Chains A and B, each alone.
Chain A
Amino acid sequence: MKNSLKAWLYLLPALLFLGVFLIYPLVDVLIYSFEEGYNSTSGTYFGVGFYNYSYVLHDPFFLKALRNTVLLVLITVPLSTGLALLISLGLSSIKALRKFFQTVYFLPYVTNTLAVGLVFMILFKKTPYSDGLMNLLLRLFGMGPVDFIDGPYWAKMFVLCFYTVWVVMPFKILILTSALASVKDDYYKAARIDATPRFRVFTRITLPMISPMLFYLIITGFIGAFKAYSDAVALFGVNLNAAEMNTIVGYVYDMLYGDSGGYPSYAAAAALILFVIVLTVTTINLTVSRKHVFYD
């Protein structure tokens, strides 16, 4: 009994923090999302129901944010995963300079998203003084200057995807290189004795062996991309609605705070919608992976 008391004492700080900042909010956000006409200052509301959800789902700003987010997910997840796979395969086939390349590739992980985003903005931005480096590059191919930061929608989406891929690559390369390193050498030796072609070795040995990690990356990639926000802020500034580049998470924060804020109920409803989307996508991913992943 004395021991049990001691254990709870050791757990007390963690329980307090988790209780106040994780478990209580989880219950509370559900309640918020069903309270209609909630007023932040007085703390009153005048009904319970699905109005908040219906409001959010009919809000053009939310639909725009949803469209942006889905596009970002569909473009960046396959692109970054595929690219990371190619780079990791390259890395695992060399010996000299491997450590060096690995270190360089990991660098974006430890940088401040907001700060480096500013550099990308400078590279892509067209100003009265200069068309910017990216446009000079485009001119080499005979393409006209495009303002990637304040210009057409596709250009802005391009930069956002470009920067997102740059940011998420380190994690994916790291995971895939260690997955590739853990494939037993015996399989490759056997394939070499049989003189199996390189491509066949890849599809029959490498790919099945790393498939659990590959699916892990796809799943976390989807989750991460659905929560995109800081990258967009770094490129287009705080007012993402004006830039037409808002994301679902951005919509949640806009509803909560800032010039358009003060509506925690709408924010809660939007956050829960996002949660349901992510949960659904993850479940689909898991179902697919169970069919295709080779578990040892």
Chain B
Amino acid sequence: MESENRVIKDRKGKAGRVIFSAVIYFFLTVWALFVLFPFYWMILSSVKSYSAYNGEYIPTFFTLSPTLENYREAFTAVPLAGYFLNTLIFTLATTALMLLVTVFAAYAFARLSFPGKDLLFSFFLSLMMIPTELVIITNFQTITYWGMRNTFWGLILPSVTSVFYIYLLKENFEQVPDELYKAAKVDGTSDLKYLFKVMIPVCRPTIVTVTILKIIECWNSYVWPRLITDDKAYFLVSNGIQEIRENGFGRENVPAMMAAVVVISVPLIILFLVFRKKIMEGVSRGGTKG
């Protein structure tokens, strides 16, 4: 009798579990659709023709006659290719400079000794708390004073520093065993050579993570470029898209706008899909957004 009860209870528990996980899958799917829908909508709208889009009082959820016309329009009616190239130059230059500065500073903190090192490092850490909004005012004045508005240098220079990445790399550099360093010293290897031949290759995973996070940050930056450029020739994609929104394609051309949005979004989505694990690890270790 008792064992029979237990069987019934188990069966009930099993059914309960199935229902429970069905409910969970249902809600997870709903959220996934919620996240993906804007992406679907922008791709869909970007392949609808101008007349088809504006002729739909009730927007359709698919199209039977996709067109690439809007993509041509996006590249010809507005200087989208130029915005793209600017962003590429800005992103690559800023990231490269950041890496150089960061690697050297992290190496000094991790491997070299000098008086006041710990004090200076804590000072560096405290700098992480300074919000950009506070320093951007003076940086704007500085760059204007240097006559660097509407130049790449003006865009790049204030975007280089990242205290957090120095911290991240320093922690990683310190994990490389001291013995390697001592052995290299005995062999008469210079610090510079040791840094490039041993440290950087060993710590490559962290360096790659830092690089990707910085690339994402640069690609999406909007506020600083907006302040420092008003010449379209130096617009980055974020400013470009805003310009397209305000002054557009001469008319309310939503499909062409969406084509531009797709073009701007695709590079980062590809980067994300390729480096998915690295990006998510990197962000959970110290990204901040939101």
Contacts and interface: CB of A to CB of B under 8 A. Distances in A.
Interface of A: 3-4, 6-8, 10-11, 13-14, 17-18, 20-26, 28-29, 32, 40, 80, 86-87, 90-91, 93-94, 97, 101-116, 118-123, 127, 129-133, 136, 166-172, 174-175, 178, 220-221, 223-225, 227, 229-230, 233-234, 237-238, 249, 252-253, 256-257, 264, 267-268, 271-272, 274-275, 278
B161 A14 contact: yes
A168 to B, nearest CB: 3
Of B114, B142, B260, the most chain A CB neighbours within 10 A belong to B114
Interface string B124-152: 10010011011111111110000000000
Interface residues of B, number: 91
Interface of B: 21, 24-25, 27-28, 31-32, 34-36, 38-39, 41-42, 45, 54-59, 100-102, 104-105, 107-109, 112-115, 117, 120, 124, 127, 130-131, 133-142, 157-158, 160-161, 163, 166, 191, 216, 219-220, 222-223, 226-227, 237-238, 241-242, 245-246, 252, 254, 257-258, 260-261, 264-265, 268-269, 271-273, 276, 279-280, 283-284, 287-290
A284 B112 CA distance: 39
Contacts of B139: 21, 25
A271 B132 CA distance: 10
Contact of A101 (B28, B133, B246, B254): B28
B109 to A, nearest CB: 8
Given A21-B161, A110-B216, A115-B264, 7 more contacts: A29-B137, A87-B27, A107-B272, A110-B271, A122-B254, A136-B58, A256-B140
12 contacts: A21-B160, A40-B141, A111-B265, A114-B241, A116-B42, A118-B258, A132-B59, A172-B290, A220-B290, A227-B133, A237-B245, A267-B137
A94 B21 contact: yes
